[in-house]
Amino acid sequence: MNPTMIQFFHWYSKGNSTLYDQIKKSVSYLKELGISAVWFPPAYKSAGGGYSVGYDPYDLFDLGEFDQKGTIPTKYGSKEQYLDSCKTLQKNGIAVITDIVLNHKAGGDELERFHAVKVNPENRQENISEPIEIESYTQFTFPGRGEKYSDFKWNFQCFTGVDYAEGQENGIYQIINDHGDGWEEMIDDEKGNYDYLMYNDIDQRNPFVREELNHWGKWYHDQIHFDGVRLDAVKHQSPEFYKEWLYHLRANTGKNIFAVGEYWAPGELPLLEKYIEATEGSMSLFDSSLHHNFHKASLAGAAYDLRKIFDETLTQANPLLSVTLVDNHDTQPLQELEAPVEKWFKPLAYALILLRKEGYPCLFYPDLFGANYTDKDKEGNDQEIFLDKVEKIEELLKARQLFAYGPQRDYFEDANCLGWIREGDEEHSGCAVVLSNKEAYQKPMEMGEKYIGKTFYDYLGWFEEKVIIDEKGWGNFPVPAGNVSVWVMEN
């Protein structure tokens, strides 16, 4: 079975504790489509309580169990609902991927006084104040949980920086603590040093912090027995930390837990490769460069040279560690990193990640279920967004499970029309895929000797006519204008 992941949420997923139940109710449907893994949103209590998407983590040990931040359940449900959803998936052979946010903490319980230096937000290596004493919410005592599961209390020594100082102008304040000189070392020098992202930035050089996070990883696994982890904001964290954390997680659980990191650097393949090298291949990365190409191609239409769609991508450079995607919660409309792939191009993009042998594809929730929501646009005006289910997405997913096997031959000679074939294997017949970003097209491709005389039909249902493979193993496969077709053998 070809592995396929789904991100089963988006930034505006409905609250009221319904998401976990929806995942549970969708198990049969997901199995039918060949989904092999479900990526959950961050499941722990966050500063926003029952309204939080989860990327402002407060208490990693509160999975919707304790009365904290004005709620017992998280936005997505209670701990009982979470565990039930995970067990249901795993009983049905679907893996659980959990979202891990270890870059920062938010919603501290008490103010604490310490020394810090204000820095230039555009160059965090440039101090714009002398060391000053500030107060910030860096004490985390978790009064709603007490010391159940862990007695560790966080204070300013656990953080490198904050963005809030009581009675002071907001900005980025680098904390002067006992565990390092300045920011942690990153692999890129964006903004001088991009260690700091938001809230209270965790100092992963602190040995007590590392010990606590290693303990938490094992504890978390013992709660839900997750099969994989999605690591948030690795661009802002030391590769050395995650290399160590994943080593301990795998050693302590006795499982080769899958890991994919979010290093969002569109069009900057060398940075992705550098991070993989620094982490010694211990995690995959989302192919933000391929998403960038999809976004550009969808805007450019017929002016985009499809032969370049995989240029400078992780999928081309290191396919075994590439997780491919068409959109996610950060790129969807009205988000800060908004760069959605246009509706017309999404079937083409999904064909490129689902029906080829390179990469591990990740489906985005609105592309399978649709979504509508309202938020402020960049001008501060309310805007309502309607995201439709991608045309023919179910057929493309099923084609991946039924036909996308065996050797692959590419026919990438035309700037506006790509084609490739999969020969199939001992258990599966193959397929021929053609996509066009311009007019309708017919592409001759070789299926191989074993298909001589066989009849192929359009699995997506665009064409009634059939293609018969000739005496040399070739067929002439049509595609509609600006679309994709998938041709498979009858019977």
Residues identified as active-site: 232, 262
- Measured from the Cβ of residue 66, the count of other Cβ atoms closer than 10 Å reads 20
Which two three-digit tokens encode residue 193?
């040093």
Which two three-digit tokens encode residue 337?
């990193």
> Alpha carbon 361 to chain centroid distance?
10
Rg, the chain, Cα only: 24
CB contact at 8 A, 467 and 476: yes
CATH code matching the domain that covers 5-103+207-399, chosen among 3.20.20.80, 3.50.50.60, 3.30.9.60, 3.30.70.260? 3.20.20.80
Cα separation of 61 and 252, whole Å?
Answer: 18
Q: What is the pLDDT along the chain (491 residues), one digit of tens a residue?
A: 899 999 999 999 998 889 999 999 999 999 999 999 999 999 999 999 999 999 999 999 999 999 999 999 999 999 999 999 999 999 999 999 999 999 999 999 999 999 999 999 999 999 999 999 999 999 999 999 999 999 999 999 999 999 999 999 989 999 998 877 789 999 999 999 999 999 999 999 999 999 999 999 999 999 999 999 999 999 999 999 999 999 999 999 999 999 999 999 999 999 999 999 999 999 999 999 999 999 999 999 999 999 999 999 999 999 999 999 999 999 999 998 999 999 999 999 999 999 999 999 999 999 999 999 999 988 889 999 999 999 999 999 999 999 999 999 999 999 999 999 999 999 999 999 999 999 999 999 999 999 999 999 999 999 999 999 999 999 999 999 999 999 999 98
Ramachandran area for residue 134 (φ above 0: left; ψ -120 to 50: alpha; else beta): beta
The pLDDT of residue 200 is: 98
- In sequence order, the 6+-apart residues with CB closer than 8 A to the CB of 3 are 36, 37, 360
Would the pTM of this model clear 0.85, i.e. be above it?
yes
Query: Beta 57-59 vs 95-100: how paired, if at all?
Result: unpaired
CB contact at 8 A, 286 and 260: yes
Measure the N-to-C terminal CA separation of the chain; round to a whole number of Å.
20
Report the CATH fold assignment for 105-202.
Elongation Factor Tu (Ef-tu); domain 3 (2.40.30)
Cα separation of 43 and 64, whole Å?
Answer: 8
Which one, of 411, 406, 298, lies nearest residue 347 by Cα? 298
What is the residue type of 336? Answer: E
* In CATH, 406-489 is 2.60.40.1180: yes
The pLDDT of residue 137 is: 98
What is the residue type of 171? Answer: G
The pLDDT of residue 1 is: 87
Domain boundaries in the chain?
A: 5-103+207-399, 105-202, 406-489
